[in-house]
Amino acid sequence: MARRETAETAAFHAGALSILAFMFLPLVVVVATSFSASGNLAFPPEGFSLAWYGEFFDDADWLQAFDNSVVIGIGTTLLSTFLGVTAALGLQGRSGGWGRYLAPVALLPLLIPPVVLGVALLVYFSEIGLRSSYLGIVLAHTLWATPLVFFVMQSVFSRFDWELRDAGMDLGASPLRTFYHITLPGVRNGIVVSALLAFVISLQEFIMALFLSNYATRTIPVLAWGTLRQSLNPVVSVVSTFLILLSVIVIAVAALVMNLEWVAKRLS
């Protein structure tokens, strides 16, 4: 029996390691090719060089695309966090009536193919003057980021002690004051994690941005796609490496926030 359990554990660990290797191997290839000394994407890289990193920082198009991605990501984060948090807060305690239909409706944007959303938004934004604008891309990315924020905050609010809020309002505090002094400190870490998740979603989104951006508002994924259509330039690997690094930093911050929340609960 003990040998069987040992064999099953070993098989499980081997399977988990295989899946992790399958997921992370492409990332390793991308990072490695960014240091290639040759002018083409090749793995293993032919020599070691930082020249392509220098070319990235000297290229105004790439720097503008990076700035666009950050600006759009911040706008998406702010808007989707506000909408997702307020929607989850409004739904809290309303399991009947219209409340039970809100969660499935909030999921709909994630079920629609991004190509369909991109075409539909392109037509609609052209009619109202938002085509190729920062605001238009932010609104498009918000369609994907808000449902994720909403479901994360639903989980966070379900673990909050709402009797504390009721006690504050019974003592005469306004709803806004109660939220700021009682509810917000208890769910702040969840809001931070949701905001970071929304930023990563916006940073990586490509298809809707391809339909809605132009030369001045294109994001890094859009410019990378256009560059790859012309040549296999290692600068694309440099950009991808920066995106991977930024995503890892965001995930690490989110994990740190959640871990600090777990430690605080254990100590309290």
User: 60-267 belongs to which homologous superfamily?
Assistant: MetI-like (1.10.3720.10)
Q: Is the pLDDT of residue 28 over 50?
A: yes
Q: Which two tokens stand for residue 210?
A: 């391809």
Convert the pLDDT of each residue in 75-116 to its tens digit.
999 999 999 988 888 777 665 566 666 777 778 888 888 888
More confident residue, 32 or 137: 137
Whole-angstrom Cα distance, residue 151 to residue 94? 15
- Identify the band that residue 4 occupies on the pLDDT scale cut at 50, 70 and 90: low
What radius of gyration, in Å, describes the C-alpha atoms of the chain?
Answer: 23
Whole-angstrom Cα distance, residue 198 to residue 73? 8
Please tell me the predicted confidence (pLDDT) of residue 260: 55
Convert the pLDDT of each residue in 231-256 to its tens digit.
777 788 888 888 888 878 877 777 77
Beta strands in the chain (DSSP E): none
Mean predicted lDDT score pLDDT of the chain? 80
Q: Is the pLDDT of residue 31 over 60?
A: yes
Query: Any idea where the domains of the chain sit in the sequence?
Result: 60-267
Whole-angstrom Cα distance, residue 200 to residue 73? 8
Please tell me the predicted confidence (pLDDT) of residue 267: 45
Convert the pLDDT of each residue in 210-227 to its tens digit.
888 888 888 988 888 887
Q: Is the pLDDT of residue 261 over 70?
A: no
Convert the pLDDT of each residue in 147-206 to its tens digit.
888 888 888 887 777 777 777 777 777 777 777 777 777 778 888 888 888 998 898 888
Q: With residue 236 as reference, give the H or E element that holds it.
A: helix 234-267
Q: Of 17-21, 93-97, 136-140, which gets the smallest average pLDDT?
A: 93-97
Please tell me the predicted confidence (pLDDT) of residue 74: 92
Residue 45 has φ and ψ, to the nearest 5°, of -65, 150
Please tell me the predicted confidence (pLDDT) of residue 82: 92
Convert the pLDDT of each residue in 45-57 to its tens digit.
777 777 778 888 8
